[in-house]
């Protein structure tokens, strides 16, 4: 017995000594983890916006809307999570919301503005109300794009004056599905807002089309176009615009008319436990250039019963990732202030997915800079360059000085490749990586890609193919594709579209592809590589020179 006790004491002493020896290692590992987050932070904004009117469903009363917000706050506090509440004007002037939100700790919660325009705001600005209901969600009535610039100034002045009278300060964050450049300029120049946000990329959903822009994270818009990133500091509005809703990097693009986002009311996405875990783990752990961003939360119009389950899954996961040092949970204003301190111009960023949901073997990378965006998509070992849009700060948005008179608003950039709109729903098209195997032209097959960052603005993909590899560098102003090692065969890129697709491509001339979109003409001319016509059903082909293709994507 005595011998056993001595052995146990000795074993315990050894365990203690081992723990002490390992402790510095643990501390170092924690520091490495936290340093990694600091270098490429993953930022979560929990944003809930509030309406006091819901005319589309008689069951959604003012009390239902109010209790939804009460429950959102309760759940966030239970998980020790702060966030942003954005008030539509009808909710701003409701004393119940004023009293509720004034109780929130200011170091954890932010109150800002949701820029949909209901009847009380419009009439107080001295403008005749044209809506069917006190809140009318149509683009030409409920949004700033439906009002003249002079009317927008009056509406903004009323909102900001009343907000300050109620809360004692002007709002720092203003967000909406769509905001025009004139309004954003006025809000910044007169009231010095810190941050804004607009809808995810989508085509036609609820009357809003935003397509081809800075795909995720945030950007500084052009002074003349709220959706278009500026290329130069002198032309930019210094208000970062964050992209809302937490888009699925694979399915939201492929199904651009549907909604596959972190919104908790969608049972296939933000209301699905498996999808939530996959999305947030990929967001937090996959390689990211610059920083990664997502917005959680939901407008109260959907009601607590519809969002409860999804939020109760999401909030603990977000809190856990925060506690692990993998994400930062901030208010929108805090993120806007950090962005402005960190970036003088719009940064280059990526959102990558190395492991898709369930049994799918798709992988993807979205790269954004202030000059262009590009999407690479792998499926069953094949690679497609599914999207490539150019940014031009000189192109004004349609509503800078004009209004929409229909229940639609449209914000675009310049497409070189538009896999969704030029393909089929669920099956994006684009540049296919092809190879001549000696007798046939066949798609290139490879192993899993490896994502990495080269420097602050360059993301790299290494794609093993046989005994060689493709190395793709996405740089701030260019895209470089190189064949490495013993990559056999004659390879090239063919731009395919669906048979009935209406594209911006016009013709191949003098080693360039000419485009025209929405009245603007532009060209793609490789710095290295050749463009040629084809007779295989593709629009055109890009061949490498000395095993390289170099595309300059700035100032075209």
- DSSP letter for 184, please: H
Which residues does 84 contact at the CB level (< 8 Å), separation at least 6? 45, 46, 47, 48, 109, 110, 111, 112, 173, 297, 331, 332, 333
Residue 432 pLDDT class (50, 70, 90 cuts): very high
Q: What is the pTM of this model?
A: 0.91
Residue 481 pLDDT class (50, 70, 90 cuts): very high
Residue 2 pLDDT class (50, 70, 90 cuts): very low
Element (H, E) at 110: strand 109-114
Q: How far apart are CA 358 and CA 230, in angstroms?
A: 38
Is the pLDDT at 309 greater than 80? The verdict is: yes
Is the pLDDT at 328 greater than 80? The verdict is: yes
Domains of the chain: 39-344 (3.20.20.510), 363-552 (2.70.98)
Please state, for a pLDDT cut of 90, what percent of the chain lies above it: 86
Count of other CB atoms within 10 angstroms of residue 548: 15
Helix, strand, coil percent values for the chain (each to nearest 5): 30, 30, 40
Q: For strand 328-330 and strand 42-50, is the pairing parallel, antiparallel, or unpaired?
A: parallel
Q: What is the mean pLDDT of the chain?
A: 92
Is the pLDDT at 519 greater than 60? The verdict is: yes
Given a contact cutoff of 8 angstroms between Cβ atoms, the answer to whether 442 and 435 are in contact is yes
């Amino acid at each position: 017995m005595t011998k056993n006790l001595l052995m146990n004491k000795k074993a315990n002493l050894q365990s203690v000594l081992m723990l002490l020896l390992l402790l510095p290692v643990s501390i170092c590992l924690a520091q490495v983890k936290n340093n990694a987050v600091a270098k490429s932070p993953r930022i979560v904004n929990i944003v809930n916006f509030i309406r006091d009117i819901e005319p589309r469903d008689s069951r959604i009363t003012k009390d239902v809307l109010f209790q939804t917000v009460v429950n959102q706050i309760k759940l966030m506090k239970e998980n020790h999570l702060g966030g942003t509440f954005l008030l539509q004007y009808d909710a701003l002037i409701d004393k119940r919301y004023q009293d509720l939100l004034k109780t929130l700790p200011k170091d954890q919660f932010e109150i800002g503005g949701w820029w949909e325009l209901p009847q009380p705001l419009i009439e107080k600005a001295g403008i005749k109300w044209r809506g069917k209901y006190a809140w009318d969600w149509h683009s030409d009535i409920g949004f700033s794009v439906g009002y003249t610039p002079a009317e927008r100034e009056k509406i903004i002045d009323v909102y900001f004056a009343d907000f300050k009278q109620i809360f004692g300060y002007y709002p720092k964050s203003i967000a909406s599905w769509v905001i025009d450049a004139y309004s954003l300029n006025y809000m910044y120049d007169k009231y010095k807002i810190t941050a804004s946000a607009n809808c995810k990329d989508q085509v036609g959903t609820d009357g809003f089309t935003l397509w081809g822009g800075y795909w995720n994270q945030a950007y500084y818009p052009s002074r003349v176009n709220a959706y278009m990133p500026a290329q130069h500091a002198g032309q930019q509005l210094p208000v970062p615009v964050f992209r809302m809703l937490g888009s699925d990097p694979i399915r939201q693009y492929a199904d651009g008319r549907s909604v596959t986002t972190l919104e908790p009311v969608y049972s296939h996405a933000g209301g699905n436990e498996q999808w939530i875990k996959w999305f947030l783990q990929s967001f937090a752990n996959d390689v990211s250039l610059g920083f990664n961003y997502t917005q959680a939360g939901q407008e109260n119009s959907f009601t607590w019963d519809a969002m409860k389950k999804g939020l109760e899954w999401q909030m603990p996961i977000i809190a856990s990732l925060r506690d692990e040092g993998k994400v930062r949970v901030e208010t929108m204003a805090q993120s806007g202030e950090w962005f402005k301190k960190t970036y003088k111009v719009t940064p280059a960023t990526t959102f990558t997915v190395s492991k898709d949901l369930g049994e799918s073997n798709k992988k993807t990378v979205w790269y954004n800079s202030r000059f262009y965006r590009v999407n690479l998509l792998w499926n069953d070992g094949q690679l497609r360059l599914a999207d490539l849009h150019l940014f031009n700060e000189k192109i004004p948005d349609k509503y800078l000085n004009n209004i929409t008179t229909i229940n639609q608003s449209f914000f675009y950039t310049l497409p070189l490749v538009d896999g969704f709109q030029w393909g089929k729903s669920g099956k994006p098209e684009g540049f296919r990586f092809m190879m001549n195997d000696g007798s046939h032209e066949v798609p290139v097959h490879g192993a899993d890609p490896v994502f990495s960052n080269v420097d602050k603005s360059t993301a790299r993909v290494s794609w093993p193919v046989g005994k060689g590899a493709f190395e793709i560098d996405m740089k701030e102003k260019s895209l470089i594709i190189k064949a490495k090692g013993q990559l056999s065969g004659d390879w090239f890129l063919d731009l395919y579209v669906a048979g009935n697709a209406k594209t911006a491509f016009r013709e191949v001339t003098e080693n360039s592809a000419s485009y025209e979109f929405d009245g603007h003409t532009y060209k793609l001319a490789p710095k290295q590589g050749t463009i040629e016509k084809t007779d295989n059903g593709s629009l055109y082909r890009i061949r490498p020179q000395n095993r390289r293709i170099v595309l300059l994507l700035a100032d075209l």
